[in-house]
Amino acid sequence: MIAFDLMAEKKIAEAIARGELENLPGAGRPLDLGDDALIPEDLRMAYRILKNAGVVPPEVELLRDIGELERCIGTLSAGEARSAAWRKLQVLRVRIEALAMRRHGLSVAERYMQRVLDRLAGAAASAELRRM
């Protein structure tokens, strides 16, 4: 996912440099984020109630916590407090990755197994190339 994000960011930066994103319709106006056309009709009322109550998905809450912790780490000097904050930041990042994987139908164990298999396949391919 990180590779895709980096590739998308690069393409956007290139388009900005070429001026392709200037003078677009709606430029300077806020986005209409209240549109719930993509939410199934039977869930719209429940989503609206949760939104009005200020309830956010766990991913949003974790991202907010990560942002606050990153800002806090920037103000801390080297020491025990800073290293504890870094450890907590890593835990939060693992949690958000686990939520994303669960949302995409992969458990942490399945994801770990896939990474191990990918690494072994890469090592086997490298060994095969060296033998040639």
What pLDDT score was predicted for residue 130?
Answer: 47
116 domain-assigned:
no
Tens digit of each residue's pLDDT (9 = 90 or more) over 11-70: 999 999 998 888 888 888 887 777 777 778 888 888 888 888 988 877 888 888 888 888
Structure tokens at 14: 């290139």
26 domain-assigned:
no
Residue pair 67/56 in contact (Cβ under 8 Å)? The answer is no
Return the residue matching tokens 């391919």: 125
What total number of domains does the chain contain? 1
119 domain-assigned:
no
18 domain-assigned:
no
Checking if the pLDDT of 105 tops 80, the result is no
What pLDDT score was predicted for residue 87?
Answer: 85
- Phi, psi (rounded to 5 degrees) for 105: 85, 10
83 domain-assigned:
yes
For residue 17, give the 3-state DSSP assignment.
Answer: helix
12 domain-assigned:
no
DSSP class of residue 43 equals: G
Domain span holding position 63: 40-106
30 domain-assigned:
no
113 domain-assigned:
no
Tens digit of each residue's pLDDT (9 = 90 or more) over 63-91: 888 888 888 887 877 788 888 888 888 88
Tens digit of each residue's pLDDT (9 = 90 or more) over 35-47: 777 778 888 888 8
